[in-house]
Amino acid sequence: MGDSILDTRQGHGSEAILFGLVPTGDPRTAAEALHELQQLAETADFVPAGCMVQHRRNPDPSTYLGSGKLQELADVVKLAHSACVICDDSLTPNQARNIEAAVGVPVMDRSELILQIFGMHARTPQARLQVELAALNYELPRLRRRWTHLERQRGGIGVRGGAGEKQIDVDRNLVRTRIASVNRDLKRIEQHKVREVQARPDLFTIALVGYTNAGKSSLMNRLTDAGVIAENKLFSTLDTRTRPWRLPGGRTVLLTDTVGFLRKLPHQLVASFHATLEEALHTDLLLVLVDGSSPEAQDQLRAVDEVLETLEVDSLPRLTVLNKLDLIEDRAALMPLWKIDPHAIPVSVQTGEGLPELFAAIQNHLAAVENRVELLLPHTAGNLHAEIRAKATVLSEFYTEDGCLMEIQASPALLGRLMAGGAQAVRRDDDERPTPKPDR
């Protein structure tokens, strides 16, 4: 069983029919089930001309769809004059070859579509190399499909097999050679980035992660004036960006924006972007952004959790942020998300609503994980004042004859450097507190 929606207007070269499977008993229509695939197709400059789903428990190992539904897909392609079909799942090379033979037009699966989008949006050398590496690893097991039309050709005397068979071996070697070359180039870039990260000032770091189009770049722009591209499109940005963010009270932390996540994200992309994400996720706190207005918000949050688990960073401290509050008429719609995370903070990056509560939650987290100490800065160590104000939370300060007495909240690493620079830890009972020197 299945259902479909078809636009019968005259087709052109960029029109595509979308298809996929939904579990038996799933009440969603084809348009609802394939909504995200439609967004992806439009991002890749395709014009969805129709969509079709089949209700079944598991895909057919040879053709993905059942035979009857596959014939229906072929009929829809002819009726719509579509140039290709796009599947909502990753297809095996055998499935793709059989579907293509049945429908008579090229077949693209979800992984290939996402790779194409990443290729369109890759701007930096590292992003371009990462996308190329993912595409090469995707393409390698599918080379035989590309050479099917040559497999019956025969070579001359002494040549075993046909021209297609011979050429596919050449192509495999070329692809493997290029994969090795790209890996070496990426390794050099990653080593350079490691040195950059090590050279950064010792500041508390926060990484923005979440589903694509959840508003991460918009939040970063609002907090840091970073100028990051923020469009209402999937995967507007692929590159990790880190900017200083001055918290209320004057303390500075580092805020990092990361590439958006997605359901069924191709494992080749997760692997190739691992270094980029790993750099951003070696962080002190994750802000997990969710589009709270999306009807698929729960699934999107689970998809983010799956990617974080794949990257082995799911144990990092996190705050869940439910964005786009301005688009939610009834706040009760957030109840399913609050059941997943009762401490999730609703905000609107667009209007600023909820941001003070987010800032307070971050300050509370800092207070819980950092050390609270009293230090005496002798007059000879007065140069440490600026570093303390930038990198620590100053709770109180007053001057004595011996120097500036400060109660601060800071990381162990920063405290170690302050002590090495001349700061002195104050250890005494409350009734031994020195008398402050009046300000002049």
pLDDT tens for 332-349 read: 899 999 999 999 999 999
| Spatial separation of the C-alpha atoms in residues 195 and 364, rounded to whole Å | 31
For the domain made up of 2-108, the CATH class stated in words is alpha beta
How many other C-beta atoms are found inside a 10 Å radius of the C-beta of residue 104? 10
The list of the chain residues with pLDDT below 70 reads: 1-13, 144-165, 197-201, 226-239, 274-276, 278-281, 428-440
| Spatial separation of the C-alpha atoms in residues 110 and 265, rounded to whole Å | 9
The helix or strand, by DSSP H or E, that contains position 280, with its residue range, turns out to be helix 274-281
List % helix, strand, coil for the chain (3-state, nearest 5). 45, 20, 35
| Spatial separation of the C-alpha atoms in residues 118 and 114, rounded to whole Å | 6
For 308, what's the count of Cα atoms within 13 Å in the CB-facing half-sphere? 25
| Spatial separation of the C-alpha atoms in residues 242 and 256, rounded to whole Å | 4
**Contact between 408 and 394 (Cβ < 8 Å):** yes
How many other C-beta atoms are found inside a 10 Å radius of the C-beta of residue 414? 20
| Spatial separation of the C-alpha atoms in residues 384 and 376, rounded to whole Å | 11
Do the domains at 201-367 and 370-432 have one common CATH topology? Answer: no
**Contact between 328 and 294 (Cβ < 8 Å):** no
**Contact between 252 and 391 (Cβ < 8 Å):** yes
**Contact between 307 and 361 (Cβ < 8 Å):** no
For 390, what's the count of Cα atoms within 13 Å in the CB-facing half-sphere? 11
pLDDT reported for residue 229: 53
Whose tokens are 């401490």? That residue is 343
**Contact between 406 and 377 (Cβ < 8 Å):** yes
Pick the CATH number of 370-432 from 3.30.70.240, 3.40.50.300, 3.90.550.10, 3.40.50.2000: 3.30.70.240
Packing angle, helices 163-199 and 125-139, rounded to 10: 150
| Spatial separation of the C-alpha atoms in residues 316 and 318, rounded to whole Å | 6
Residue 50: closest CA among 62, 63, 37: 37
Please report the sign of the dihedral spanned by the C-alpha atoms of residue 345, residue 350, residue 356, residue 359: positive
The helix or strand, by DSSP H or E, that contains position 288, with its residue range, turns out to be strand 285-291
DSSP string spanning 139-193?
A: HGGGHHHHTGGGTT---STT--S-HHHHHHHHHHHHHHHHHHHHHHHHHHHHHHH
| Spatial separation of the C-alpha atoms in residues 170 and 196, rounded to whole Å | 39
pLDDT tens figures, 113-126: 998 888 887 777 88
Question: What is residue 112's three-state secondary structure?
Answer: helix
Kindly report the pTM of this predicted structure: 0.76
Listing from the earlier edge strand, what are the strands of the sheet with 47-55?
2-6, 47-55, 15-22, 84-87, 107-108
| Spatial separation of the C-alpha atoms in residues 26 and 31, rounded to whole Å | 13
Q: How many helices (H) and strands (E) does the chain have?
A: 16, 15
**Contact between 132 and 182 (Cβ < 8 Å):** yes
Extents of the domains making up the chain: 2-108, 118-198, 201-367, 370-432
pLDDT reported for residue 162: 47
SS (H, E, C) 323-339: ECHHHCCCHHHHHHHHH
The helix or strand, by DSSP H or E, that contains position 94, with its residue range, turns out to be helix 93-103
In this structure, whether the domain defined by 201-367 belongs to CATH 3.20.20.70 is answered with no
Question: What is residue 337's three-state secondary structure?
Answer: helix
How many other C-beta atoms are found inside a 10 Å radius of the C-beta of residue 116? 19
